[in-house]
């Protein structure tokens, strides 16, 4: 269970790092705020048309008598809304990281610099990194969609669908969030998606300890914006654990990063 506790510890350390480096915290919120505006508009439009979507998808129930029609479509409406939120929580981070690739790469480098030792660089151009990020975001979207369909179907199971399935959904969400957030620091180390998944699966409890609490917090949109810079910082610290760098370099505190709040290095 030590990994589970350590995962949560990296989440808190990342938030503390962001709090101590105020300008980097503000810098890291910009992409999250842009993404939030787009998601909010999409969800409002989607939820406005939810009843029409459910009615269109279930024409066979048009002739059902009351109250069965209302109960059936009401349950589907709740499941549809929950699925949309599930997709939004999972994809919000991926889209934000894609939009803010240069922002978060600079932030991640600064975290490595503040911890001492070498600061890994991928050696790729910004366009190559954006292309890899887009490709991996599409792959993630496909996986998320498949999981969402599965959980949507399992939600119809009496009892289990309202208790066990939501808990499993949050675990899956947490793992995906950790996978997304660690992608920046791991890509700078030349570790691509397949190997990243293998690394995280070998330390599942570490990934869940970091990602599950974050997925719960990310249900609140504004909270996601404020926590995103710290989440990237915490994911970078977690990566240093995964790769063994914390054992190779003693932390140097603020000596490499300058005084708290300093904005070292051009983004």
Q: What is the pLDDT of residue 252?
A: 45
Q: What's the mean pLDDT in 205-229? A: 88
Residues 154-184: pLDDT tens digits? Answer: 777 777 776 788 888 888 888 988 998 998 8
Q: What is the pLDDT of residue 135?
A: 80
Q: Kindly tell me if the per-residue pLDDT of 82 is higher than 70.
A: yes
Distance CA 107, CA 253 (A): 16
Q: What is the pLDDT of residue 80?
A: 80
Confirm if 155 and 137 have CB atoms less than 8 A apart: no
Distance CA 211, CA 176 (A): 8
Length of the chain: 267
Q: Report residue 34 as tokens.
A: 């842009």
Q: What is the pLDDT of residue 246?
A: 67
Confirm if 261 and 23 have CB atoms less than 8 A apart: yes
Distance CA 159, CA 53 (A): 26
Confirm if 211 and 175 have CB atoms less than 8 A apart: yes
How confident is residue 72, by pLDDT bands cut at 50, 70 and 90? confident
How confident is residue 146, by pLDDT bands cut at 50, 70 and 90? confident
Higher-pLDDT residue of 265, 63: 63
Residue 198 CB partners (closer than 8 Å, separation 6+) = none
Q: What is the pLDDT of residue 255?
A: 37
Residues 223-256: pLDDT tens digits? Answer: 888 999 999 999 999 999 888 876 655 444 443 3
Name the strand (E) or helix (H) holding 258: none
Q: What is the pLDDT of residue 215?
A: 87
């Amino acid at each position: 269970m030590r990994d589970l506790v350590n995962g949560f510890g990296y989440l808190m350390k990342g938030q503390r790092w962001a709090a101590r480096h105020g300008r980097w915290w503000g810098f890291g919120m910009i992409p999250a705020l842009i993404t939030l505006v787009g998601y909010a508009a999409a969800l409002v439009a989607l939820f406005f048309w939810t009843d029409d979507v459910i009615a269109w998808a279930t024409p066979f129930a048009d002739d059902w008598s009351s109250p069965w029609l209302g109960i059936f479509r009401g349950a589907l409406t709740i499941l549809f809304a929950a699925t949309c939120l599930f997709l939004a929580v999972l994809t919000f981070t991926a889209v934000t990281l894609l939009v803010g690739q240069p922002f978060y790469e600079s932030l991640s480098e600064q975290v490595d610099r503040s911890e001492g030792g070498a600061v890994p660089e991928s050696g790729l151009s910004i366009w190559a990194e954006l292309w890899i990020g887009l490709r991996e975001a599409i792959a993630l979207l496909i996986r998320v969609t498949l999981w969402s369909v599965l959980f949507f179907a399992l939600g119809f199971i009496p009892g289990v669908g309202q208790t066990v399935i939501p808990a499993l959904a949050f675990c899956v969400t947490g793992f995906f969030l950790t996978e997304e957030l660690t992608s920046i620091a791991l890509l700078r180390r030349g570790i691509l998606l397949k190997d990243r998944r293998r690394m995280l699966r070998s330390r599942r409890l570490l990934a869940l300890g970091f990602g599950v609490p974050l997925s719960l917090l990310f249900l609140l949109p504004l909270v996601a914006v404020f926590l995103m810079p710290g989440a990237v910082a915490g994911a970078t610290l977690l990566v240093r654990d995964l790769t063994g760098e914390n054992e190779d370099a003693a932390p140097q505190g603020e000596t490499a990063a300058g005084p708290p709040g300093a904005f070292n290095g051009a983004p």
